[in-house]
Amino acid sequence: MVDVNPATYNIDPAAVRDAISERTKAIIPVHLFGQGSAMDDIIRIAMENDLFVIEDVAQSLGAHFSMDGKKVKLGTIGHIGCTSFFPTKNLGCYGDGGACFTNDDDIAEKIRMIVNHGARKKYFNERVGLNSRLDTLQAAVLNAKLGHLDDFIDRRRWAAAIYFEALKDVPFLCLPAQERGADHTFNQFTVRVSGGLRDKLKKFLNENGIPSMIYYPLPLHRQPVFAPYCRHGISLPVAEMICGEVLSLPMHTELTEDELLYITQKIKQFS
């Protein structure tokens, strides 16, 4: 686990470089909230150290990163891209689903086996796997929605532009920053609330019928499940600080102008 950039909430490439040891096998950038991590730096570090790159594009499907002046889709830059089709994602199905992307035939075959209980051939299991097949009904929903992905993203960007304009002068808010080279799909519109006011603002919004979420209350290195894998007493001060300040405002494709006006007016009334 390494620390993140306080402005973009994405993995900090300098921290990645410092954390590499002889046990390191792969770098896993999570393209958080809708925009890409600094993929040019990450790919350079991976090549210099002979590491795999596995992109988590669950919140940023459809976004790009500029590599050598060319816009490339996130999830297709590293060796493997992973996404989620949970209903809240940029491309959501009607339940649970996900996919991995790779251009490497050997990796593709391994992933297909893992998805099918470790079997290449039915009822002949060569490795430990999972039942992780994409349900046919979910696939049908995704087939119908895939062609609309860019429209869904445009709608999120439209809502984000209204938030940016309406909230730009609110003194206790730090609005999301643009990662260099990345475009933002605003799967989430996550602000930082300073002065220890985050929980009070969340309560105030809730009292006014406005849902908001804390993504995420506990950083990964503090999760019990990861304790055995983290360097003892590890401290990631930026991640810890951000977890105490972040608040994700309502964001989806069906938000109306009136709803956005109401939400932003209420935030401005809060003090």
Ligand X SMILES: Cc1ncc(COP(=O)(O)O)c(C=O)c1O
C-beta neighbour count of 99 within 10 angstroms: 18
Residue 93, CA atoms < 13 Å, CB-side half-sphere? 19
Measured from the CB atom, the residue of 57 and 263 that comes closer to ligand X is 57
Using CB under 6 A, pick the residue from 27, 30, 100, 115 that binds ligand X.
30
- Specify the 3-state DSSP secondary structure of 202: helix
Using CB under 6 A, pick the residue from 3, 56, 183, 245 that binds ligand X.
56
- Asked whether the beta carbons of 25 and 51 are under 8 A apart, the reply is yes
10 binds ligand X (CB under 6 A): no
- Asked whether the beta carbons of 59 and 90 are under 8 A apart, the reply is yes
Residue 226 C-beta: closest distance to ligand X, Å: 15
Which helix (DSSP H) or strand (DSSP E) does residue 119 occupy? Answer: strand 119-121
Number of residues in contact with ligand X, rule: CB under 6 A? Answer: 8
Phi, then psi, of 92 in degrees rounded to 5: -110, 145
Instruction: Select the span of 55-63, 192-200, 230-238, 247-255 touching ligand X (CB under 6 A).
Output: 55-63
Measured from the CB atom, the residue of 43 and 54 that comes closer to ligand X is 54
- Specify the 3-state DSSP secondary structure of 164: helix
Q: Is the peptide bond before 262 cis (omega within 30 degrees of 0)?
A: no
Using CB under 6 A, pick the residue from 6, 98, 118, 129 that binds ligand X.
98
Pattern 68-87, binding to ligand X, x per CB under 6 A?
Answer: ----------------x-x-
Measured from the CB atom, the residue of 74 and 260 that comes closer to ligand X is 74
Measured from the CB atom, the residue of 197 and 220 that comes closer to ligand X is 220
**From CA 241, how far away is CA 123, in angstroms rounded?**
49
User: Which residues make up the interface to ligand X (CB under 6 A)?
Assistant: 30, 56, 58-59, 84, 86, 96, 98
